[in-house]
Each structure stands twice: as structure tokens, then as C-alpha cells.
Amino acid sequence: MRFVHEKENVVFLGPPGVGKTHLAIGIGMKAIENDIQVYFVSAIKLIENLKKAYNERSFDYKIRTYSRFPLMIVDE
């Protein structure tokens, strides 16, 4: 979990069906076991939420809300 504490990004790239989501969920579970707060969201839902917040003029609040999680997993 060093990458979380050092605020580094991890990106899994590859074709469908190779286990990217499975790896991301595994990292999320390990983080939870280590008392690290995790937020899991699909990329589409994230964009929808940010777009809605922008239109409602609450974008800064939404970004601060997401930023409070040490680990944010964005899945395709």
C-alpha cells in the first residue's frame, strides 16, 4: 500500500477480460484491511457526477468530497 501513502497513481491497461477490475478490487480490499478509506466508481459515473456538480455549481465541493479518500478506484 506504499503507493497510497506516497500518493502515486496505479493504472492497469489491457484488453477486456484480463483481470484489471479484479486486481483493482483486490487492491481496494487490501486497503480496507489496512484501514484505508476507498472509493470505487465507474469512469462513466464519475464523469456524470462531476458534470452534474459543475452544472449545479458544486464542482469544488464534489472534488473536495472525492479528495478525502486516500484511495479512489476508477473502473471502466
pLDDT along the chain (76 residues), means of 10: 94 94 96 97 97 97 96 95
Q: For cell 483481470, what's the residue?
A: 19
| Domains: count for the chain | 1
Using CA atoms, how far apart are residues 61 and 14, in angstroms rounded to an integer? 33
Query: pTM for this one?
Result: 0.86
Residue 54: give the domain boundaries. 2-75
Q: How far is CA 68 from CA 2, 20, 61, in A?
A: 18, 24, 11
Using CA atoms, how far apart are residues 57 and 40, in angstroms rounded to an integer? 24
State residue 28's pLDDT score: 97
CATH number of the domain at 14, please: 3.40.50.300
